[in-house]
Amino acid sequence: MVKLKDIAEACGVSIATVSRALNGQVNENREKTAFICRMANEMGYYPNNAARTLKTSRSNNIGVIYQDLMTHAYFSRLFDSIRREAEIRKLDLTFIDRDDFTGRHYYEHARQRNMDGVIVVQAEFEAAGILRLATSSIPTVVIDHSYEGADCVLADNRASMEQIVRYLYGRGHRRIAFIQGQKGTVSCERLAGFYKICTELGIRVPVEYIKEGLFQNASECSEYIMEFLRLPLPPTCVLCPDDSSVIGAILQLQAKGIRVPEDIALVGYDGIAMGQNIVPRLTTYSQDTFRIAREAFLLLTDAIENPDQHVPKKITVAGHLIEGETA
């Protein structure tokens, strides 16, 4: 096994210099640091993470909680952003499984594995185990859900609705319907934002213009749109739960002879790549997954490195509207 002493002798420097170079503490000039790292790689050096953990009490391992199947394109983008941020910080990511539906073992798993912190991406947020973890001594950041006294990174769901509806208002729409995703913090925030901006703009929202649906359910989305179209005074535009729902719905509507946006305008949510590759191009709202991930790691890093001084925060991250051809 190659040791720091071997690398130091090969490079003609001290062991301390090798250690600083391999740990990214660039006190030496960049050329020397690059030379040391290259030599270590050529010699087949691998850091002893167990020894490092004993020395620093840090494992450089971050837990990730995600209870759903990874089929949603938004979460794929978010995970890619989280992975990139972890790589920049030279951190490992480990998924934490639940043993039962209470999620009571999350805290124990994170503690037993000596995780430096945890990011909760998607979970049963009301479960006692998640709440215990989020408010425990283990640095934890929750995405898209808010707890008092916990670090949270939230998409600006209310402001996004304001941006979307103002855009539609500017394009002449006055009858706008809304299909929610399944109930939760995200859907409730979006609905509240929708009602607020409609009130400000003087847009009347009949009760039949609101449907409670599901994310990623194109068939249901299509059925609700058809119900809207059968109303005596149908909406001219429908806000759909997410891009996956509306993309599938467009295909189903086209098969029934319904034209988008001529017969009904549609707006998605998330800003996935597929939405810009269909005809017509999807009008949607893109979430800034890169900044969400970055803010999560900034909060987590501060909580890990400054446990006594860290004050939990709620960070809101704005996205942006993509002006497509469906609205």
Mean pLDDT over each residue of the chain, to the nearest integer: 89
- CATH C-level class of 59-155+290-318: alpha beta
- Tell me how far apart the alpha carbons of residues 182 and 210 are, in angstroms, rounded to a whole number: 13
pLDDT-derived band at 72, boundaries 50, 70, 90: confident
Q: Name the residue with higher pLDDT: 297 or 72.
A: 297
Percent above pLDDT 90 for the chain: 60
SS3 318: coil
Q: Name the residue with higher pLDDT: 123 or 23.
A: 123
Q: Which residues pair with 165 in a beta bridge?
A: none
Q: What is the pLDDT of residue 50?
A: 46
Q: What is the pLDDT of residue 322?
A: 97
Phi-psi region of 114 (alpha: psi -120 to 50; beta: other; left: phi over 0): left
pLDDT digits (tens, 9 = 90+) for 25-54: 655 577 788 788 888 888 887 665 545 544
Q: What is the pLDDT of residue 74?
A: 85
Does 171 score more than 50 pLDDT? yes
- What is the reported pTM? 0.76
Fold (CATH) for 157-286? Rossmann fold (3.40.50)
Closest C-alpha to 86, from 112, 121, 113: 121
Does 293 score more than 50 pLDDT? yes
Q: What is the pLDDT of residue 192?
A: 96
Write phi, then psi, for 224 (nearest 5 degrees). Answer: -65, -40
Q: What is the pLDDT of residue 2?
A: 80
Q: What is the pLDDT of residue 25?
A: 60
Closest C-alpha to 305, from 139, 88, 153: 139
SS3 38: helix
Which H or E run includes 287?
A: none
Domain locations along the chain: 4-47, 59-155+290-318, 157-286
Cβ-based neighbours of 294, under 8 Å, separated by 6 or more: 81, 85
Q: What is the pLDDT of residue 168?
A: 98
Q: What is the pLDDT of residue 262?
A: 96
pLDDT digits (tens, 9 = 90+) for 74-112: 888 899 999 999 999 999 999 987 655 455 588 888 888
- Tell me how far apart the alpha carbons of residues 315 and 309 are, in angstroms, rounded to a whole number: 18
Q: What is the pLDDT of residue 311?
A: 92
Cβ-based neighbours of 190, under 8 Å, separated by 6 or more: 157, 158, 160, 161, 180, 269
Cβ-based neighbours of 322, under 8 Å, separated by 6 or more: 271, 275, 276, 282, 283, 284, 285, 286
